[in-house]
Amino acid sequence: MSKNIIILSLIIGSILLVGVASADKGEAEKAAVVAAKAWLKLVDQGKYSNSWKEAAGYFKKAVTKEQWEQSMQAVRKPLGKILSRKLKSKNYMTSLPGAPDGEYVVIQFETSFENKKSAIETVTPMLGKDGKWRVSGYFIK
């Protein structure tokens, strides 16, 4: 009888842990989306230098501020003003190809610009050691 109670307790404990993990994942995704939108606002305003400063350390190691500004001038600026941006997907991950293990959320937005009516923006915030989500990658397709 007591063996069955222990097994039942372990099963209930496992179910509760999965529920907590799911809740944490959901909270992480929400926080990452908020951070991504705030960062995208800087990019939308043409504040490319500020967007670089607000990015994750991993991002800053991969591209210099000057390279980032040049890239945004060449790729993002010609798209024109943003007309709309709608969350398409968000996916919490702990491992990404070519990146250190950590906590990431890969976020996709369906975006419309003045000069490109249909685009997909992929923004990948990562959780820093200070508990803040910062963008570690950005791609427009």
Give the chain as a 3 state SS string.
CHHHHHHHHHHHHHHHHHHHHHHHHHHHHHHHHHHHHHHHHHHHCCCHHHHHHHCCHHHHHHCCHHHHHHHHHHHCHHHCCEEEEEEEEEEEECCCCCCCCCCEEEEEEEEEECCEEEEEEEEEEEECCCCCEEEEEEEEC
Task: Please give the CATH architecture assigned to the domain spanning 2-140.
Answer: Roll (3.10)
pLDDT digit string (tens) for 62-91?
999 999 999 999 999 999 999 999 999 999
Tell me how far the alpha carbon of residue 132 is from its chain's centroid: 11
pLDDT digit string (tens) for 97-108?
888 899 999 999
Can you tell me the distance from the alpha carbon of 105 to that of 25, in angstroms, rounded to the nearest whole number? 9
Specify the pLDDT at position 7: 41
Specify the pLDDT at position 24: 84
Closest CA to 43 of 4, 1, 71, 13: 71
* Predicted TM-score of the model (pTM): 0.82
